[in-house]
Structures are given as C-alpha cells and as structure tokens.
Amino acid sequence: MEIKSINKINYPRTNLNIAFTPKKKSDHTIPPQKTLDGMTIMAIPIIAAINHNQEAIRGKNITFDGQFQPNSKSIPKKSNSNPIQIYSAKDGYNKIADHYDTWKWQKFWEENEMPLIMEWSKNKKNSYGADIGVGTGRNLKIFLDNNNQIDGFDISDEMITICKQKYPDYIDKGTLNCYNLSIFDINNSNHKYDWIISNRVVSNIEDLEKFIQTLQKIIKVGGECFISDVHPDRNYDYTHLNIDNNDIYIETYKHPIQQIKQLFEKYNFEIVKYEEFLKDNLKLTNTIKTDIKPIFYYFILKYKG
C-alpha cells in the first residue's frame, strides 16, 4: 500500500501493505494506464465488484478465475494484447519480499507514518501485542525495545522468513514469535492481546467485516488498535511494484471510510482518533504526483467489550 497501500501503498496494499485470503493467480489482459513511482494508481476502465458498487455491475459479462464472484475485484477477461498477471497478496508479497525494505516508498512511510506509530507506542510497555501483516518487521523494534512480547503474523512466508532473520535474539528470548498465518487462522482465545497494530493491510482484505470480527475475538476489553492504510479515495486498483524491470501487480480491495467506521462501531470498537493526510500535510511530497485527495489514514481504536 505501498503508497495498494499500493498505491497498495495496492501498502504497499500494504496496501501488509499485508491481504490475508490467498487466491489463485489469475492471468488477465488489462493495460496499466498510470502509475506513481511504484504505486498503482491505475485509472482504467476496470469493472470492480466491491462492496459498495456490486449492484452496478450485475448482469455484465465479467470473469474472475472463470466465474463472477460478488465482493471480489473482477476485471474484463481481455482488453488488449499485453496481458498482465494479478497476484494474490500471498503470492505477490512472496515475489517482492527480498526488495520490500529497499522500495523507494519505504522512506515515505518512515517520514510520515512511523512518527504516528512511535507516539502511539509510548504507553505500550511490558504488554502483549500483535502485528497483523508484520511483513519484514519494520515496526517491531519500537515495541520490542519497550519490553513488549509480540506475535507477528503474515500470509507471506517469504516476508516472515526475512522478519525472523532480523530479530533472532528476541525470538531466542521468547519475546517475539513470527507466524506464517492468515489473520483468519489466528486462534488466541486463551490469552488475548493488549494491543494490535496493522498497517496497510485493510486494502489487502476482501472480507472487511470478518477482519474486524477477528480483531474483536483476539483483543482484550480495553485493548487498543492502530490501523492505517492508503486512503480508498486514491485513484488506484492494484498494488504495483517494479522488481528488476518486472512489474508485479497485487490485488487490492477498497473499503469506503464510512463503511470502515460503521463496522468498527458495530463490533464495539470506540474510535479514539481518526485522521487522514493530504499532500500538504506530509513530508517528501515532491515524490508524490497527486491531487487534493487524501493519501493515507489511520485509526486509533479501543475495544469496549
């Protein structure tokens, strides 16, 4: 996501980045019209069947892995002679894992998102937390240095491998565990988390309500969440990274901010803070060719039980 978010910012998604429901790779023929230094902001006539516009496309001849699937991103089977491949989050992030930490957009996130995380982390000490979509572990040291015990989860086994290589001492001490798991496979009912962080993951999640239900199941009453992602108003459809002159496109799902807020409230999360950022509020804006739309957002949530 990165920034598919993707834009993921598709992140990288990431929009970790991190998507958590693996899908088959699908070959489609869609031409990228616009990209932003590695962030897909494709302004093309892709027909997307996502939560808020399913009815608009019913009855159309759309295929995805051979069939129309409501609530999923669907695109015309053919549009020109230059096909591109759209990867699931698992397969896509496996492909880019070795290059993720050197991706040019990491500097953007370090300058603009990391200070928000650091501020939120100040009262997270000697506690038990989870990083959902941990990726290569770029956020972990902040929390590990505060004597927290952390479980990191990511659907990409390649990203998890890199994460483990970065923090062997913490893993040996038992203060860090890294799991190659989808969020939907987490079962932590006996010892719930004091806090959860998840950056650029929402845009990789197709079933947003199930995602929030899972957060509810694994967090303590009174626990806090930090959720951030590329803003859904950004003009992108897929996470796009160029690795060794090879374009990698990762599927992305857009969830309107109002829908996200309503689902958090439905599952008893108090919105302690919500903020979105325009270009004028951010550093390194000379790297962003953008309009007046917000670039990314974050929530601080408290679970009321």
pTM for the full predicted model:
0.74
10-residue mean pLDDT profile of the chain (305 residues): values are: 35 32 39 38 31 32 23 37 82 94 88 96 96 96 96 97 97 96 82 95 96 96 97 87 87 95 98 93 70 89 96
Residue 164: inside a domain, yes or no? yes
* pLDDT for the residue numbered 303: 98
Residue 181: inside a domain, yes or no? yes
Residues linked to residue 240 through DSSP beta bridges, in sequence order:
249
* 52 contacts 171 by C-beta, under 8 angstroms: no
Rounded-to-integer distance, Cα 37 and Cα 161, Å: 27
* pLDDT for the residue numbered 285: 61
Express each pLDDT in 143-196 by its tens digit: 999 999 999 999 999 999 999 999 999 999 999 999 999 999 987 666 799 999
* pLDDT for the residue numbered 235: 83
The residue assigned the tokens 């893993």 is 171
Looking at the 3D structure of the chain, how many domains does it have? Answer: 1
22 is written with which tokens? 């693996």
Quote the Cα angle for 188-192-196, to 5°. 100
Residue 81: inside a domain, yes or no? yes
Residue 7: inside a domain, yes or no? no
Express each pLDDT in 82-110 by its tens digit: 667 899 999 999 999 999 998 888 888 99
Residue 55: inside a domain, yes or no? yes
Residue 10: inside a domain, yes or no? no
Residue 272: inside a domain, yes or no? yes
* 34 contacts 7 by C-beta, under 8 angstroms: no
Three-state DSSP state, 68: coil
* 156 contacts 93 by C-beta, under 8 angstroms: yes
* 204 contacts 7 by C-beta, under 8 angstroms: no
- CATH value at residue 170: 3.40.50.150
Burial class of residue 82 (count of CB atoms within 10 Å of its CB; 0-12, 13-18, 19+): exposed
* pLDDT for the residue numbered 280: 82
Residue 230: inside a domain, yes or no? yes
Domain holding 236, by residue range, is 26-303
